[in-house]
Structure 1
Amino acid sequence: MDVTMKDVAKLAGVSLSTVSRVLNDSSLVREETALKVKKAVEKLDYQINDSARILRTNTSNLIGVIGAGMEHPFLANLLKGIEAEAREKGYALIYGDSDGEFEKEQNYLNIMKQKKIDGIILITTNYYNDLLNIVKNYQIPVVFASGYISDPEISCVTVDNVAAAYDIVEYLCRAGHKEIAFIKGPDLDLLASQERLRGVKLALRMSKIKYDSQKFIEGDFTFESGYSAAAKIIDRFPNTSAIFAFNDEMAIGAIRYLAEQQIKVPEEISVVGFDGIEMGEYVKPSLTTIKQSGYELGLKSIELLNKIIEGQEVEDNKVFIPHKLVVRESTNKLNKLNLKKEVENTKLN
C-alpha cells in the first residue's frame, strides 16, 4: 500500500496542513516541527505526488528545452550549462529536438504547456513570427538562446554576432586579405547566421572591399558542408586568400578539403571559424576563431528565465555574453604567392 500524507502526519504527530506546509517549504512552520515531518517522510519513504503538487502550488519545477542540432559540440556545451544551472536552482528538464522545424517546435510547445512547465529555453535557428506569437499567447516565461531578437517582449541571451563577425573579418582585412570567401549558415537561419552576415558586410565596407554575394557559399554548420563549400570556393574563386566559415565545424571541414588538395593552410589560404569549440585547438593547423562560451550561454539563459519565473525585476531582457578573437595557426598575413598574383593582376588591368 502506498504511503500517504496522513501516514506522515500520524508518525510526526502533526496535522495534514502542517505536513503540506513543510513539503511546500513554507516559512510558517517552526524548525523543530519541520524536522519531525522530514524525518517521518524519510522513514516512511513518502513519495510526493507530482500531479497533486502542481495542482496545489501551480508550479512544476520543470523547464522545457527545445533545441535543434544539439549533437554539435557548441550546442552540447550550451545544454550542459543549462542542465548545471537548472539543477542548481532546483529545476528538472524536459528536452525535445525540433531539427529546426516549425511544426516540431509548435508540437513541443503544446506538449510542454500540458506538462504545466514553469518556463522554456528555445534554441532555434529559424525565426518565425508565428513562433513568437505562439510563445506570447501561451503566457509561459520563455528565453531564446540562439540569437538577438529585437521584439521587446521576448527575452534572449546571445553573443553579439554582428560585432564578433566584424572583429574577425576586420582582422583578416588588417592582415592584408582582400580576396575573402565565406561559408555561411543555412539561408533559413534568420538569427545567428544573418547577424554574422551583417557583421561581415560592415567590416568589408569599412575596409573598402566590395561585397560580392557570389563569394558566400551556403552550408549547414556540419563538417561535410564545410568540406563541400571549400571545394566550390576553390573551383569558382582560385585567387581566394582567406575563408571565413560561420562556425568551427565548417571551418575544420574546409581545412580537410584544402589539405587533400595540397593547398597549404595558412601559407596559401588562411581559414577562420566561429564558436571556439575544443576541437579547433587540436586540429592541425589549430583554428583561428571567435570564441564564445556555450556553457555560459546556457547558464545565463537559466538565470534570466528563473528571474522571470519568480517575478523578479529584470532590468534588461537582452543579455550578451562576451566573445574573443583567438588567433592560432590557421591564419597569417597575406602570403607572398597571393600578393604576387595581386600585383600581376594589377599590371594586366
Structure 2
Amino acid sequence: MDVTMKDVAKLAGVSLSTVSRVLNDSSLVREETARKVEKAVEKLDYQINDSARILRTNTSNLIGVIGAGMERPFLANLLKGIEAEARERGFALIYGDSDGEFEKEQNYLNIMKQKKIDGIILITTNYYNDLLSIVKNYNIPVVFASGYISDPEISCVTVDNVAAAYDMVEFLCQSGHKNMAFIKGPDLDMLASQERLRGVKLALRLSDIEYDSKRFIEGDFTFESGYSAAKKIINKFPDVTAIFAFNDEMAVGTIRFLKEQGIKVPEDISVVGFDGIDLGNYTDPALTTIKQSGYHLGLKSIEMLNQIINEGKIEDNKVFIPHKLVVRESTNKLNELTTKQEVITKNRG
C-alpha cells in the first residue's frame, strides 16, 4: 500500500498543512518541526505524487507568471520579489515571457490552465479587452502587476503612475523649467506609459504650460530608444531645458547621447527618469528619478493573489505601492539672471 501524506503527518505528529509546507520548502515552519517531517518522509520513503495531489485537492501549489521584457532591471527585481514571496508561501512558479504580444499571452494562459495552476501574475505592457475577457472566463485568480486596471473585477498592484509623473513635472516646473520634452513608452502600452502621460498632462495644465504632443517622443523603455529619442528632441527642439524619460533606462540612453554631443547635464539640459533602478546611482551625473520598488511590487502581488486563492475575493483589490522623488545631480534650477537659451547657444556654438 502506498504511503500517503496523512501517514507522514501521523508519524511526525503534525498537521497535513504543515507537511505540505515542509514539502514545498516554506520557511513558515519552525526548523525543529521541519526536521520531524523530513525524518518521517525518509523513514516511510514517501514519494510525492503531484498528479494525484492535484486531483485530490484541486490545487497545484503552482503560480503562473506571464511577463514582458523581464530582462529589464526593474522588472527583474519585480520577478525576484514574486519568487521570494511565492516560496515563502509554499508556491512554485511557471514563467513565460510574452514580449507583450497578445497571442503569446493567450497561449501561456492556455498552457497554465492545463497545468491546473492556482493563480496568475500578469506583467504586460499591452492592455487588451480580449485579454481581460479570457482571464475572467478562465475563472483563475489573477493579479495584474503592470498598471492600474479600472475594471472592478480585476485585481492589480501598481505604483500610482499618474501621481508619480505629476510629482516629477511639478518638480521640474518649480525648478524653473518651462521648455520640456518627454520620452514616453510605446503607444501600445496602455497601462504604465499612458498613466504617466496623464500625470504629465495634468501637471502641465496646472502649471499653465501648453501641452504640445510633438514634444512627446515614443521609445520602448530600452537604452537604445532613449538615445535615439534624445537625438530627435535636440534636432527638433533646441530650446529644451529638461527631458523626462518615462523609465530610467531611456534616461540613461538620453544622457549618453547628450554627452556625446558635448551637451552638459545638467548645466545645459536636466534629465530625469522613472523607476529608481540601481544603475541610476552610478551614471555620470547620478540620475534624478521617481523611485518605486519592483521587489516590493512583486511581494504585494503574491500577497494579494494568495488572499484571492484562499478567500475567493478581497474587498480592496486595487493596491498602490509607495513612490518617492529622488533628486540627484542630473537636474538643476535655471539661473534666473540668464535665459537657458543663451546658455545652450553658448555651449553648443
- Return the TM-score normalized by structure 1: 0.88
Matched position secondary structure for 1:5: coil
Distance 1:337 1:71 in 2: 45
Matched position secondary structure for 1:310: helix
Distance 2:43 2:55 in 1: 26
Alignment of 1:29-108 (within 5 A): 39-108=39-108
Change beyond 3 A, Cα 1:21–1:153: closer
Distance 1:331 1:289 in 2: 10
Change beyond 3 A, Cα 1:129–1:338: farther
What corresponds to 1:135 in structure 2? 135
Distance 1:6 1:100 in 2: 43
Distance 2:262 2:182 in 1: 20
Q: CA deviation at 1:47?
A: 1.8
What corresponds to 1:203 in structure 2? 203
What corresponds to 2:261 in structure 1? 261
What corresponds to 1:176 in structure 2? 176
Distance 1:5 1:288 in 2: 60
Distance 1:285 1:261 in 2: 16
Show CA shifts across 1:266-317 (max 9, x none): 0000000000000001110000000000000000000000000001662310
What corresponds to 1:30 in structure 2? none
Q: CA deviation at 1:48?
A: 0.7
What corresponds to 2:30 in structure 1? none
What corresponds to 1:186 in structure 2? 186
What corresponds to 1:5 in structure 2? 3
Distance 1:160 1:21 in 2: 37
Show CA shifts across 1:115-155 (max 9, x none): 00000000000000000000000000000000000000000
Distance 2:342 2:5 in 1: 86
Runs of 5+ in structure 2 lacking a partner? 22-33, 344-349
Contact 1:241/1:338 (<8 A) preserved: no
Matched position secondary structure for 1:328: coil
Q: CA deviation at 1:45?
A: 3.5
What corresponds to 2:216 in structure 1? 216
Distance 1:298 1:36 in 2: 32
Distance 1:139 1:233 in 2: 46
Change beyond 3 A, Cα 1:172–1:37: closer
Matched position secondary structure for 2:311: coil
Distance 2:49 2:181 in 1: 58
Change beyond 3 A, Cα 1:246–1:38: closer
Distance 1:35 1:341 in 2: 71
In percent, how many aligned pairs have the same letter? 80
AA partner of residue 178 (structure 2): K
AA partner of residue 233 (structure 2): I
Contact 1:268/1:335 (<8 A) preserved: no
What corresponds to 2:318 in structure 1? 318
AA partner of residue 163 (structure 2): A
User: Does residue 157 of structure 2 align to residue 157 of structure 1?
Assistant: yes
Distance 2:6 2:118 in 1: 28
Contact 1:268/1:338 (<8 A) preserved: no
AA partner of residue 230 (structure 1): A
Matched position secondary structure for 1:325: strand
Q: CA deviation at 1:41?
A: 2.2
What corresponds to 1:231 in structure 2? 231
Show CA shifts across 1:30-63 (max 9, x none): xxxx999864421243221000000000000000
Change beyond 3 A, Cα 1:151–1:39: same
Matched position secondary structure for 2:271: strand
Show CA shifts across 1:194-219 (max 9, x none): 00000000000000000000000000
Distance 2:17 2:180 in 1: 65
What corresponds to 1:126 in structure 2? 126
Change beyond 3 A, Cα 1:235–1:147: same
Distance 1:179 1:7 in 2: 67
What corresponds to 2:282 in structure 1? 282
Matched position secondary structure for 2:238: coil
AA partner of residue 280 (structure 1): G
Contact 1:12/1:36 (<8 A) preserved: no
Matched position secondary structure for 1:108: helix
AA partner of residue 110 (structure 1): N
Q: Which has the larger radius of gyration?
A: 1
Matched position secondary structure for 2:272: strand
Distance 2:37 2:150 in 1: 49
Distance 1:4 1:37 in 2: 17
Change beyond 3 A, Cα 1:297–1:338: farther
Contact 1:162/1:199 (<8 A) preserved: yes
Distance 2:317 2:36 in 1: 43
- Return the TM-score normalized by structure 2: 0.88
Q: CA deviation at 1:5?
A: 1.6
Q: CA deviation at 1:20?
A: 8.0
